[in-house]
Amino acid sequence: MNIFTKLRYLAEGYYYKFFGLPVVKCGSDSASKRALLIYLSLPLKWKKNDIRFNAHQNFRQSRQIAELLIQRGYQVEVVQHNDKQYIPSGSYDLVISHSGVVAERLQALKKTGYRLCMRTGRYSSFVDKVTGQRYALLGERRGKHLKWNKVGKANSVYDVYDAIACFDANGTASATFSEVGIPVYAFRNYANPMIEVPGNKAENANKGFIYLAGHLHVLKGLDWLIESFAQRPELDLYICGRVPDDLMEIYQDELGLPNIHAMGFVRLTSKKFQNICKSVYWYVSASASEGCSGAVMDAMAAGLIPIVTEACGVDTHGAGFTMQNPNIELLGVKLDAAAAMSSAQIEEHSLLAREVIERWYQPEHFADDWSRILDQVEAQT
């Protein structure tokens, strides 16, 4: 990205900060149906080859959903989910709404048409339960009880919706919404199409592991990983993501060990990420709650072998290891099994990881899933 492009993007960011996020209307004015998509509006203003799509899959996905609706004869209004100024009004044949400020205002709007609640994570009561369990376990092991914020959304949130659509590729995320009492549809996430497979692995890469996450580190098992690798000095852990201050305080000794590398924020399309990948063959996540983890897919697309929990929401189709009922002891068993694999086995699983992404988790698979969801929705309207 050249300096002029960076300056233009920066200027656009300031413009929207002070003058508000755009509401994008797309599709024909003569369309017979009207849809409201409450998700991400800026990607509808970008050109299809805009480099900003590479920052996160959700940008492409918002645009994909809007394009599918246009193909089905809708005029679509796309609103940013956290737009503090937009107030929904009027009637729509279909509303697809991600959580946020606009979704909260939607609850006060007289219901028209069909409303589909879009979730990229799991049911809030489930998330609160497993998060509480993870923090309690951390407190028991380290004698330090950290504070955390509950999601705390009641079932009444769903009273204005007809169905739920959630990220899920192995059935576990959808199941958490069962008590809501409305239909639940699943759609797959996919790997960032700009992820590259690094070459020229380091000699000890079979002993290298990477953790990727931007937040919710206790829920995602970073504390388990730090403790496990502290006991295994022959294995290297690369932590990609900022370690919060409370965990830094608890694990200051472990984070100073030579085999535990706190890398800070790492952009997945950067040379820094490529260089780290040359030192590792394994991706590890002990998460207790995901929708359908994009980080798992990004890692697999780069040829990294997954060591994940079933709660990551990804069917790895035999690549690596999947833990159904994880605990810190089982994580250690999987790490030891990974480190004991032969070079031939590692190469086989690395290749399989990439093949799984190509076969099951591409943008066209996301579009196929949403097409099926819209078929089912339109059959009921």
pLDDT score at 14? 74
> Is residue 75 scored above 70 in pLDDT?
yes
Residue 151 has what pLDDT?
77
The dihedral built from the CA positions of residue 259, 241, 277 and 359, taken in this order, carries a sign that is positive
Residue 260 phi, psi dihedral angles, 5° rounding: -115, 115
Q: What pLDDT does residue 20 have?
A: 79
Query: Can you read off the two tokens belonging to residue 320?
Result: 């690596």
The three-class DSSP label of residue 349 is helix
Share of the chain above pLDDT 70, in %: 98
Q: What is the mean pLDDT of the chain?
A: 93
pLDDT band at 112 (very low <50, low <70, confident <90, very high): confident
Report pLDDT for 198.
Answer: 86
Strands 74-80 and 321-323: unpaired
Contact 121, 102 (CB under 8 A): no
Residue 225 has pLDDT above 90, yes or no: yes
* Mean pLDDT value of segment 336-359: 96
pLDDT at 155: 66
**Per-domain boundaries in the chain:** 3-125+134-140+147-189+362-379, 205-360
Q: Put the strands of the sheet holding 114-119 in their side by side order.
A: 24-26, 74-80, 33-39, 94-98, 114-119, 163-167, 184-187
Model pLDDT for residues 156-182, shown as the tens digit of each residue: 788 889 999 999 999 999 999 998 999
Superfamily for the 205-360 domain: Glycogen Phosphorylase B; (3.40.50.2000)
pLDDT (tens digit per residue) in 227-283: 999 999 999 999 999 999 999 999 999 999 999 999 999 988 889 999 999 999 999
Average pLDDT of the segment spanning 133-139: 96
Q: Which CATH class is domain 3-125+134-140+147-189+362-379?
A: alpha beta
What is the predicted pLDDT for the residue at 51?
87
Q: How far is CA 275 from CA 316, 333, 365, in A?
A: 24, 27, 30
Helix (H) or strand (E) holding 71: helix 57-71
pLDDT of 89 reads 80
The most distant pair of C-alpha atoms in the chain lies apart, rounded to whole Å, by 66
Contacts of 71 (CB under 8 A, 6+ apart): none
Distance CA 54, CA 52 (A): 5
Cα separation, 284 vs 70, in Å, equals 39
38-55 pLDDT, tens digit each:
999 999 999 988 888 988
CA atoms of 215 and 112, how far apart (whole Å): 37
Stretch 285-307: mean pLDDT: 96
Q: Roughly how many angstroms between the first and final C-alpha of the chain, as a whole number?
A: 46
Question: Which residue's structure tokens are 């946020």?
Answer: 100
Q: Is the predicted pLDDT of residue 154 greater than 70, yes or no? A: no
**CA dist 209 → 30, 127, 194, 300, 304 (Å):** 54, 26, 21, 13, 9
pLDDT at 96: 97
80-84, 131-135, 328-332, 334-338: range with lowest mean pLDDT = 80-84
Which class for 146: exposed (0-12), middle (13-18), buried (19 or more C-beta within 10 A)? middle
Spell out the alpha helix ranges (H) of 216-362.
222-230, 245-250, 271-277, 294-301, 328-339, 343-360
Q: Is the pLDDT of residue 111 over 70?
A: yes
Label the pairing between strands 24-26 and 74-80.
Answer: antiparallel
Backbone angles phi, psi at 333, to 5 degrees: -60, -45
- Give the predicted TM-score (pTM) of the model: 0.93
Higher pLDDT, 60 or 9: 60
Which is more confident, 27 or 152? 27
Between the CA atoms of 220, 223, 226 and 230, what dihedral angle is there, to the nearest 10 degrees?
Answer: -140
Task: State yes or no: pLDDT of 144 exceeds 70.
Answer: yes
- Are both 3-125+134-140+147-189+362-379 and 205-360 of the same fold? yes
Please give the pLDDT value at position 130. 96
pLDDT classification of 205: cutoffs 50, 70, 90: very high
- Using alpha carbons, select from 222, 284, 288, 278 the residue that is nearest to residue 255: 222
Q: For tokens 């820094």, what's the residue?
A: 272
